Amino acid sequence: MSDLPALHVAIDGPAASGKTTVARLLARRLDVLCLDTGAMYRALAYLALETQTEADNEAALCRLLLAGDREIDEARLQSNAVNAIVSTVAAHPRVREMMVARQRAVAARGAVVMAGRDIGTVVLPDAPVKVFLTASVDARVERRREQLAHAGVDVAAHRLREEIEERDRLDRSRAVAPLVPARDAHVIDSSEMTPDDVVNEIVALVTAARAAT
Ligand code: DC
């Protein structure tokens, strides 16, 4: 057993910045767990749609969260209907409290690469490696369009731009845990980088953090 503290890597950033892709590749490279916290909020948004629960009904959303775990496939989690309400679902303080507790419980078990909006600021403020991943709106629209095309969904770029800009606005302006870089986060602009370029840069940060402990 090593004496090193468990490796926690926090990756935050705006919608469609490539966090999830990078987090998955990085976790594979480091051979550790990957937790995409956006999927947790998306799953709750999906359950709200399915049960006709209003996205602004915090108490009902909390009850849904407590109702138990369910597998929901990627296509449903990424659907336009979910995109349209997920930022509203994620803005409720008590919903966030419950999500954060679950995310911390995962980190308490060991090494993890965790992707989201508030991982470096709220969920794991002591994470030794924090990355704030950004990209231009143009790059993010193009990535999301490609991702959807891959899934067989054809959406006009201007619609995607509106959706991304609206989610950015909601995620940045909410009262609880808004999207901002942690003070000690490394900001990486991935507009002109491949996912592997970004992963290599983060691996270098991990190596440096390891050497410093
Ligand atoms: O990363 P994503 O696009 O899958 O996230 C979906 C939504 O969930 C996003 O619009 C805001 C919310 N979210 C959040 O509030 N906090 C997180 N840690 C992760 C996601």
Per residue of the chain (213 residues), what is the pLDDT tens digit? 456 678 999 999 998 899 999 999 999 999 999 999 999 999 999 999 999 999 999 999 999 999 978 899 988 998 889 989 999 999 999 999 999 999 999 999 999 999 999 999 999 999 999 999 999 999 999 998 888 888 777 788 888 999 899 989 988 888 888 889 999 999 999 999 999 999 999 999 999 998 987
pLDDT given for residue 4 in this prediction: 67
pLDDT given for residue 155 in this prediction: 81
Cα 213 to ligand 1 centroid, rounded to whole Å: 31
Cα 87 to ligand 1 centroid, rounded to whole Å: 7
Locate 188 and state its tokens: 């990486």
Out of 12, 37, 41, give the residue to mutate to test ligand 1, the one with the largest number of ligand atoms within 8 Å of its CB: 41
Please say whether the beta carbons of 155 and 209 come within 8 A: no
What is the CA angle 100-15-141, rounded to 5?
Answer: 170
DSSP, res 120? I
Compute and round to an integer the Cα radius of gyration of the chain: 17
Please say whether the beta carbons of 61 and 95 come within 8 A: yes
Atom of ligand 1 nearest to the CA of 167: 10
Please say whether the beta carbons of 76 and 32 come within 8 A: no
Q: What is the CB < 6 Å shell around ligand 1?
A: 15, 37-38, 41-42, 86-87, 90, 116-118, 167, 171
Locate 127 and state its tokens: 């994470």
Assigned superfamily of 8-203: P-loop containing nucleotide triphosphate hydrolases (3.40.50.300)
Distance CA 145, CA 26 (A): 23
pLDDT given for residue 69 in this prediction: 81
